[in-house]
A and B are shown apart, each in its own frame.
Chain A
Amino acid sequence: MVFELYVEIGRVALIKCGPNKGKICAIIDVIDQNRALVEGPSIKDGVIGVPRQSMRFKHLQLLPYTIKICHTTRTKKLTAAWEKSEISKKWMESAISKKLIASERRKGLNDFDRFKLMKAKQKRQRMIRMCMGPMPKK
């Protein structure tokens, strides 16, 4: 099994646990086998930042984006590199991000919303079956 995502300086990761859950950050330095020093810049268009802190690899999910930085870069340079690589934009457009947003919405549904969802699903299934019906069976 070939590994595709490596922990390296500049690797972008998603935080899975803790108060910063759901935010993305960059690995600025590797502390040791279990921890990395991470920071997620605050971008103007509403992307909330992650303050510089140590984070366990167990709480991180590596993403297929990297930025070009030196170890322990200052926040300003980090933000500049982050914006240059358009990480926020790529992340917002990625499938994982969209799935996370959708699952958050799903958790926040009330009973009426779930009823509406059920009806919408039924309607969709009906449309699909109507198309499937006249298709020739093999």
Chain B
Amino acid sequence: MKCRGDLRKYVVVGRELPNPKVPVPKMYKMTLYAPDYVTAKSRFWYFTRQLNKVKKTRGEIVQCDRVFEHGNQVKNYGIWLRYNSRSGTHNMYKEYRDLTSCGAVTQCYREMGGRHRARANAIHVIRIEEVAAEKTRRPPIKQFHNSKLAFPLARRVNRKLHTPRFTTARP
């Protein structure tokens, strides 16, 4: 998977195709985060075939719907994930503050790439949960749980100092 832009939340339901051995197969549902529905279906099969004896060739997707989230309140999200590093595979629990779970998961993928050089295809988001403020564990998240929070915006650098570097029009 490639974490393109902002990830979207999909609910994918699939099953193996009915056959003489199993006339009514079990349905498996997954809520996952992917950049588009094509990748969502692909990841669904990736996980399903790891856990069940069914592949895309012998199965069908019953439903692949996007779940829209509206975010007007800041929430704390706890994300349990598993990722492959160069030398092994590890579990992690990370926390993010965001308006939607999609935003939090996108942040997670970006952070994993930055801090651990983990590519999106090496990351499995196991679980994502909205966490109440008292139950958060990470100090960078807890520091925002302050109703009297106030901080200055220090060192405001003019990033557009050299765009353009030379010009004929006065700024």
Contact = CB atoms under 8 A, between A and B. Distances in A.
Interface of A: 3-9, 29-33, 37, 52, 54, 57-58, 62, 70-72
Interface in B123-171: 140, 144, 147-154, 159
Interface size class of B (residues with CB under 8 A): 10 to 19
Given A29-B74, A32-B144, A7 B97 contact: no
Interface string B60-86: 000000000001111000000000000
A3 B74 contact: no
A37 B149 contact: no
B99 interface: yes
B137 to A, nearest CB: 16
B98 interface: yes
A5 B153 CA distance: 8
A5 B152 contact: yes
A52 B72 contact: yes
A82 B74 CA distance: 21
Given A37-B74, A52-B72, A31 B151 contact: no
Nearest to B154: A3
A54 B98 CA distance: 9
B77 to A, nearest CB: 12
Contacts of B151: 6-7
A31 B147 contact: no
